[in-house]
Structure 1
């Protein structure tokens, strides 16, 4: 009997890699200087920030100067959507399956006089490019579509979406929170104008992230005013340990991503194949256009919350970590056309760097026993 946690909720957060933690520790106790100070001690801290910024820039193929450190992806999204100078254009488009951070910002913009179009998706969670093209007008200023959906793992055709957006003279925000550090990303090749990043999604610490901004956009209206750190884009004393952790996580991801992904994909497919052998089960989302570590499966006739409680020491999710506690049908799965019964039976399994064969075998054994018991 296994008593320790089997963690299959990597899309919610990841454990900090030991190498990341080791790199961070000196900046809590020995190298604790404020990088905004003028002395040598502070200059050393600033140098470490510069190194971390370069590592993150290298991961997504941008210049270090195009990155602004934030507290995470939510702040980065708010910074981009609320800080953009829209001029005479008053129309925003976003996918109906976006993360709440994007959706709530768009709803906020509606209270400020902007019009928002919420794009539908098909049963596989994919945006129809013709629908997007028809939705874009001469008044459109911003299009928001995430690269990898946090609940289903479904991936959108970002280069095509960006091309349609730019042809209309609008800017493109791509929430890549679930993609950075997992799959190769080139913001230039993919034509991304804004991209939020969160360290805790790829084995870095919580409370630190970044916003990539296309320099052609110019300056944003800052959310925070204060000491003019980061060229006035985001005032406040920099989180040196967090930034060092983010940079270290980025460097490790760049080096190890390819080999790691193959191993995780093998485990994900083994888990999914065995669960689908259970009667009345099916995958939510496109089977091919999705990230390697995620599967969202409905077990018809069962309630996901009941399953999660019964699984006990196996950590899985019924949807987004930000909304799963509400015990309501997932808006993402609803947008894909799932009936409430099937929606409420969905469980997201998301694997990661430290998932083992034993974790998968143990999980499958428990799931099959629990399903038999609950259905019986």
Structure 2
């Protein structure tokens, strides 16, 4: 049996999303500015897709929302735009990020630091969450940007972005959050959290990867980095519009909104079943308190077993899990999660994660529990170390 439980990195395309996109893959697509019938048809499809995105985000009508190619473009354009427009001009002097920001944000920060830009990192507490009050240690009216992801993709920890955005407003500092891991898992209401900039990608929404979007609060600034012909519909980004991707993303957002109750109840029930079973196994510790996590995610530390070995054993039986400890991102420094949680340093390479989706079944979870238990027994019998990581 196959059990795909790596849905915080990539999801299967929903058949309804594929069906919405399929006509655009078979027939000519008209330019949105064209006066002929294909142009009119494309404008209608684009408008409908954007309406679904606005609705899914509860975005005010007067705000701006535009399409991109995904997280890497969103984050790179944001960071370089802030650097060119505010840091190099001397108007601002620093950028503040979460220490658990995405790889694309961290890589951009590393580049900017090499150019003399000051980057401050907000630490996480022992529950995997940014302490709101810690922002006061770094923020000043000359800060150019504060960015904290809405949800940590590895732990599923929900960050207090609404409170952080409120502090930023007091200092007149732009606040950005990436909502990729939150959409479809927890409510996202832009009229409640009130960031200046919100971005997201398609890969966790059961849409094809390579599509994303950026939302700008009315009056927020954004410096385009991709040049070329622009039009009324995509004034913040040059180049051709990915209408097929827009339609797919819009449909995926609509389905995610419709499925939100499932994600928050049924997916949580399956995740909790998995968590309770793993918690009963010796030396297996769930990370991040239950109430602080999105409902589809479980990350555990496994004493006496390395992540890579556990993932390999799970994969033998069709269980696709994840561990970020064996996927190093760049050469910038990131504190190990086990250090953040105050766990034994021996566990730094012993974390395994599971991220469910609305397509995950009870049978897949039962299979995962059985496979994990068997893999744990096998690897510990095979290992020269006991469950505490001590040599025997």
Scaled by the length of structure 1, the TM-score of the pair is 0.93
- Pairing partner for 2:262 from 228, 243, 259: 259
Q: Map 1:192-207 to 2 at 5 A.
A: 192-207=195-210
Further displaced range: 118-127 or 80-89: 80-89
SS at match of 1:174: strand
- Pairing partner for 1:353 from 343, 358, 365: 358
- Pairing partner for 2:224 from 216, 219, 222: 222
Is the 8 Å Cα contact of residues 96 and 335 (structure 1) preserved in structure 2?
A: no
SS at match of 1:160: helix
Scaled by the length of structure 2, the TM-score of the pair is 0.89
Provide the rounded CA distance (Å) in 2 between the counterparts of 1:30 and 1:221. Answer: 34
Change (3 A) 1:234 1:297: same
SS at match of 2:290: coil
**Structure 1: segments with no counterpart, 5+ residues:** none
Is the 8 Å Cα contact of residues 97 and 331 (structure 1) preserved in structure 2?
A: no
Q: RMSD across aligned C-alpha pairs, in angstroms?
A: 2.2
Provide the rounded CA distance (Å) in 2 between the counterparts of 1:272 and 1:324. Answer: 27
Is the 8 Å Cα contact of residues 54 and 63 (structure 1) preserved in structure 2?
A: no
The yes-or-no answer on 1:24 pairing with 2:21 is: yes
Is the 8 Å Cα contact of residues 71 and 207 (structure 1) preserved in structure 2?
A: yes
- The CA deviation at 1:251 is 1.0
- Pairing partner for 1:160 from 163, 169, 173: 163
Match of 2:78 in 1: 80
Q: Map 1:296-311 to 2 at 5 A.
A: 296-311=299-314
- The CA deviation at 1:196 is 1.1
Q: Map 1:1-376 to 2 at 5 A.
A: 2=1, 5-63=2-60, 66-84=64-82, 85-86=85-86, 88-218=91-221, 220-229=222-231, 230-312=233-315, 313-319=318-324, 323=328, 331-376=336-381
Query: May I ask how many residue pairs the two structures share in their alignment?
Result: 371
- The CA deviation at 1:321 is 9.6
Provide the rounded CA distance (Å) in 2 between the counterparts of 1:164 and 1:92. Answer: 15
Change (3 A) 1:48 1:277: same
Provide the rounded CA distance (Å) in 1 between the counterparts of 2:103 and 2:264. Answer: 27
Over 6 Å off, 4+ runs: none
Change (3 A) 1:242 1:322: farther
Change (3 A) 1:185 1:212: same
Provide the rounded CA distance (Å) in 2 between the counterparts of 1:74 and 1:262. Answer: 31
